[in-house]
Chain A
Amino acid sequence: MSEKPTIEQYIKNIDEHNFKAYKCVGCGAVTAPPSGTCYSCGGNEMDWTTVSGKGKLVSFTVIHIAPEEFQEEAPYFVAIIELEEGTRITTRLMGFDPMAPENVKLGTSLVLDYEDGKSGRTYLSFKPA
């Protein structure tokens, strides 16, 4: 895992259900989605890291009116998840009813999974732990 991480590879990893985050070589801070510069120390040397896949729900919405590409998937959740490693990431949610979003509680523990959408895209998706 020592080649310089690229966004292309980051997305490919997700497509292959093999998520990896960036890790700052200087200070060890974990970052995802990729940033060109470490939010913690300002360093720009990055490496890949695997993550535990554990996270917590920070906030979310259910999209009803979607861009054309995603229209067939609506209504669908989009959520902000804080990974155990500290970084926050925008993902889908599974295992909840999009027509009963009031039952979804912020702070819920979740685990990483993947969802192959009708749009042809593969999403990072979290489900109840």
Chain B
Amino acid sequence: MPLKNTSIVSGAQTKFGYLDGISQREMFAEAVDKATVEVGIPKKDIQAAFVGTFIPEMLIHQGHSAPLLLDFAGLRGLPATRHEAACASGATALRAAVMAIESGFYDTVLVAGSEKMTSVSTNRATEALAAAADDMFESSMGLTFPGVFAIAAVAHMEKYGTSPEDLALAAVKAHKNASTNPLAQFQKEITLEKAMTPRYIAWPLRLFDCSPISDGAAAIVLTSKEKAKQYTDTPVDVVGTGQASASMNLCDREDFTSFEASVSASKTAYKMAGLGPKDMDFAVVHDCFTIAEIIASEDIGFFKPGEGAKALRDGVTALDGDKPINPMGGLKAVGHPVGATGVKQAVVVYRELIGEAGANQVAKHDTGFMHNFGGTGASCVVNIFRRSDA
């Protein structure tokens, strides 16, 4: 049964990237203001906040983030809880908010995600990110996140013949889409040759196969359908949501060419929405690495297993293709402040659906899909959104 009662009425993000001199709380407040008072939603209407942030303890030596961030953003006093699921923190916060509204508990809530990552060196950030994997049995081997997805890439290449050039094409597409996105970390197109510069991070993944280390924040306001029209003429409904987990250890998976939590969360969300992949006009997927976009495009049912790379090569997933994926540039080129990402993905789908994506507008925009992924794929959240008037 499709969800009945939850609408998105605003969504905004800060610029993503190296936000020198701007602290986590400052960017959080900026995103909150953009999603509330700047679009005519008074802060006093917000009844609770669902906050996504992954690991400020290691990045900025700060825990207990939700009240701190809320206080700074002028929302002191509200029930405020942090949701943590590594890179899927943002979407787990969003999902909790959806359930709170569906249940009738609240009418209007804030969902906001953020991360400040450039406060530490790349090696320290790599170490902090590695805490999203099993510290006892995998991180302790020196396995990193690029390494996790490199292992998946090697398996996908062996089974389906996916090539390093296919991976590079995903990077070229991401940078192309981000080149017209003023909020992106990288706003420059790259050539295939540049994407294939052999600077290995975790072989076979090169620099341009990786999402960067980023700062940034994103926020959305959710409200009951009844109240939605009070805030906007073009509400977007949450029609399906799914979440699944998988083994923390990569080695405990049977297959490295697919992520079972993605498959399972997608099925749940499609079933709830009463829709299938063919009904989706576009998708925003968790492309923390180029291979992750290719695998996700298969796991969410857009393409058969092993056919994601072909779809990419054929331009099917390009901004002007039949099934655009990551039309604004994805994590790869827009940046990946981990706790912000899941919320930012919802912001992107929202902006596309209401036709306010500017140069990055997809042609068909009634129904959109988002896929947010955490850690080794041990968490996945999928949401399906549809414009109320569609």
Contact = CB atoms under 8 A, between A and B. Distances in A.
B142 A61 contact: no
Interface in A78-118: 78, 80, 88-92, 98, 101, 106, 117
B154 A92 contact: no
Given A58-B256, A78-B143, A90-B138, A65 B126 contact: yes
A63 B252 contact: no
A93 to B, nearest CB: 11
A65 B126 CA distance: 8
Contact of A89 (B126, B127, B251): B251
Contacts of A88: 251-253
B147 A78 contact: yes
B59 interface: no
Nearest to A121: B140
Interface in B256-310: 256
- Most chain-B CB neighbours within 10 Å: which of A61, A65, A91, A121? A61
Given A88-B251, A88-B252, A63 B143 contact: yes
Contacts of B201: 64-65
B142 A66 contact: yes
Interface in A20-56: 33-35, 39
Most buried by B among A34, A39, A66, A68: A66
Given A33-B137, A121-B140, A61 B126 contact: no
A62 to B, nearest CB: 4
A71 B151 contact: no
Contacts of A59: 151-152, 154-155, 158, 256
A101 B203 contact: yes
B141 A123 contact: yes
Contacts of B139: 67
A67 B58 CA distance: 13
A78 B251 contact: no
A32 B202 CA distance: 25
A90 B148 CA distance: 11
Interface string B124-150: 101100100010111111111011001
A7 B136 contact: yes
Instruction: Tell which of B136, B147, B150, B253 has the most Cβ of chain A within 10 Å.
Output: B147
Given A59-B256, A61-B203, A67 B251 contact: no
A69 interface: yes
B333 to A, nearest CB: 19
Nearest to B123: A68
Contacts of B134: 33
Contact of B251 (A75, A90, A119): A90
A72 B143 CA distance: 14
A1 B303 CA distance: 50
B103 interface: no
Contact of B142 (A11, A35, A70, A106): A70
A47 to B, nearest CB: 19
A68 B124 contact: yes
B312 to A, nearest CB: 21
A90 B202 contact: no
Given A61-B202, A106-B154, A90 B136 contact: no
A61 B150 contact: yes
Contacts of A101: 203-204
Given A61-B147, A62-B150, 5 more contacts: A33-B249, A60-B151, A69-B142, A76-B142, A106-B158
7 contacts: A34-B137, A63-B146, A65-B123, A65-B144, A67-B127, A71-B123, A78-B151
Interface of A: 7, 11, 33-35, 39, 58-71, 73, 75-76, 78, 80, 88-92, 98, 101, 106, 117, 119, 121, 123
Interface of B: 122-124, 126-127, 130, 134, 136-144, 146-147, 150-152, 154-155, 158, 200-205, 249-253, 256
